[in-house]
Amino acid sequence: MTTSARRATLRDVVFVDGVRTPFGKARPDGIYAQTRADDLIVKAVRELLRRHPELPPERIDEVAVAATTQTGDQGITLGRTVAVLSGLPTSVPGYAIDRMCAGGMTAVTTTAAGIASGQQDVVIAGGVEHMGHHPMGFDADPNPRFVSEKLVDPEALNMGVTAENIHDRYPHLTKERADAYAVASQAKYAKALANGDIQPDLVPVAVRSAELGWGLATADELPRPGTTAEGIADLKTPFRPGGRVTAGNASPLTDGATASVLAAGDVAAELGLPVRMRLVASAFAGVDPAVMGLGPVPATAKALQRAGLTIDDIGLFEINEAFAVQVIAFLDHYGIADDDERVNPYGGAIAMGHPLASSGIRLMTQLARQFEQHPEVRYGLTTMCVGLGQGGTVIWENPRHADYSGHTTHGHTTAAANLEA
């Protein structure tokens, strides 16, 4: 007589905590120029463990770490090497992920699916990108069929060109609007920094320079406070003559790492872990690679449909600012004003930087803090465009809202919401 395998019931997936390193300039004189990429993500993971002594390290079931360029100090199965370097028990496994800019986001959604289905209880999901050591696309060898068979536009592999293409396709998304959005991002970041909203998520990183000796990175290196529309109006347009995408309205090349802890709702209650938000739904979608910045539009539509929500139910938006035009294209599609206060309240990647695979978790960590400040907001979303024509969106629920539907410390559990198929 055989027995049927136990059929797992979907469980709530909760975001316990997230941290990040300060973000640095990806240049020979940047703060991390002589710091290894894997050391950055190890520092973030060790900080999570330090902040949560209630989490027994042996209870961590998986370490998933993303990087876009998986070579050199970003290679060798990052999740496993980071687990070992972080001092986790050798029993804790790990693996690497690549979905370009949405690598960290995918580390979260992939491990979340495992938690929901009962395959894991607690995981660490992270992302790292040292663009100073590994420029995007460096040493890549795209298959010639992409061009010979006209599968994609020859310039679709250049992200700046794809942003120019959005300006072409939608002329009402003007350079003036993009510049104004970028200026606002810088101003919002400066305000958030002054209010103390940025610093709690940062983990100081010891850095070394052969010329200057040892130092400590404690703040983002990239913001340009005091940026004005007049000051960026005439910047060079590097992706085409007379273009509209400039260094002023795009995210800068960045080095940095992020890490997060996710858990099943009942396991978080068991261990006494904080619940900062609950994963409601996630989705990834593809678009024409020539306009990859439009990816968040269909990804968000998919996620909303899976969650049974509409865009009007979303009270906070964390949108990655790869390019300003990509953000205002999303806002236009959903009828949201460029200066809507719900959008990127702390500023975004235009101000603080975009270390590719790290950024998705940076969005989540900031949304969790905004939920704490806004208990009246029930749902928020994190969304980003992805190279080669994709978008990713994750919808979250605020446990401080009066109608929170997730697991509580009183033992009530609801079925986990729809996850990425």
Catalytic positions: 101, 354, 385
The residue type found at 51 is R
Q: Spell out the alpha helix ranges (H) of 199-356.
A: 229-232, 265-271, 296-307, 324-333, 349-352
* Residue 325, φ and ψ in degrees, nearest 5: -65, -30
C-alpha span between 92 and 280 (Å, rounded): 27
326 touches 349 (CB < 8 A):
no
**Closest C-alpha among 411, 349, 409, 417 to residue 385:** 349
Coil, helix or strand at residue 207: strand
- Which residues are CB-contacts of 417 (< 8 A; sequence separation ≥ 6)? 278, 279, 280, 281, 306, 307
C-alpha span between 281 and 245 (Å, rounded): 33
C-alpha span between 104 and 87 (Å, rounded): 21
Instruction: Record the tokens describing residue 94, joined without a space.
Output: 């790990």
The residue type found at 118 is G
The residue type found at 8 is A
Q: Among all chains, which residue has been given the structure tokens 């800068």?
A: 252
How far is the CA of 84 from the CAs of 92, 191, 199, 296, in angstroms? Answer: 8, 38, 28, 35
- Please measure the distance between the N-terminal and C-terminal CA atoms of the chain and give it in whole angstroms: 34
How far is the CA of 352 from the CAs of 17, 60, 126, 181, 303, in angstroms? Answer: 20, 30, 18, 14, 27
In 1-121, beta strands by DSSP E: 13-20, 24-25, 62-66, 94-97
C-alpha span between 27 and 391 (Å, rounded): 28
